[in-house]
Amino acid sequence: MPQTTTQPHPLAKYADRIDASADYTARQLAALLELSLSSVHMMAGYGWLPGSRMRTPARGGRKYTWTGQQLLRLAGRRIKVQYDHERYAPSTLYRVGCRCPECTAAHNTESRQRRRALAEEKFPEPQRTRLVELVGEGTPVEDAAQEVGVSVGYVFGRATWDAAFADALDDAGWALCVLGESSPACGTAGAYRGNDSKRSPRPPCRGTGCREYKRESSRQTHST
Ligand SMILES: [Zn+2]
Ligand SMILES: [Zn+2]
The pLDDT tens digits of the residues spanning 78-89 come to 988 888 888 888
Distance 198 CA to ligand 2 centre (A): 20
**Distance from residue 128's CA to the centre of ligand 2 (Å):** 23
At residue 58 the predicted structure's pLDDT band, cuts being 50, 70 and 90, is: confident
**Mean of per-residue pLDDT scores for the chain:** 88
Domain spans, the chain: 4-118, 124-223
CA of 145 to the centre of ligand 2 (A): 20
Q: Calculate how far, in angstroms, residue 194's C-alpha sits from the geometric centre of ligand 2.
A: 9
Rounded to two decimals, the pTM is: 0.63
Q: Which ligand is nearest to the CA of 103?
A: 1
Q: Does the pLDDT at position 112 exceed 80?
A: yes
75's CB contacts (< 8 A; 6+ apart) are 9, 11, 12, 14, 15, 18
**How many other CB atoms sit within 10 Å of the CB of residue 120?**
13
> Residue 223 pLDDT > 70, yes or no?
no
Average pLDDT over residues 85-104: 88
Pick the range with the lowest mean pLDDT from 44-53, 97-106, 153-162: 44-53
Listed in sequence order, the residues at least 6 apart from 52 whose beta carbon sits closer than 8 Å to its beta carbon are 44, 64, 65, 66, 70
Q: How far is the CA of 85 from the centre of ligand 2 (A)?
A: 55
Whether residue 75 is predicted with pLDDT greater than 80 in this model: the reply is yes
Number of the ligand closest to the Cα of 83:
1
Q: What is the CA radius of gyration of the chain?
A: 25
In this prediction, residues 111-128 reach a mean pLDDT of 89
Asked if residue 1 has pLDDT above 60, the reply is no
Cα distances (angstroms) measured from residue 52 to each of 63, 68, 186, 205: 9, 11, 63, 59
Q: Which ligand is nearest to the CA of 190?
A: 2
Whole-number Å distance, alpha carbon 102 to ligand 1 midpoint, is 6
Ligand 1 centre to CA of 72 (Å) is 27
Give mean pLDDT, residues 184-211: 87
pLDDT at 219 over 70: yes
> Which residues, chain by chain, have CB under 5 Å from ion ligand 1?
93, 98, 100, 103
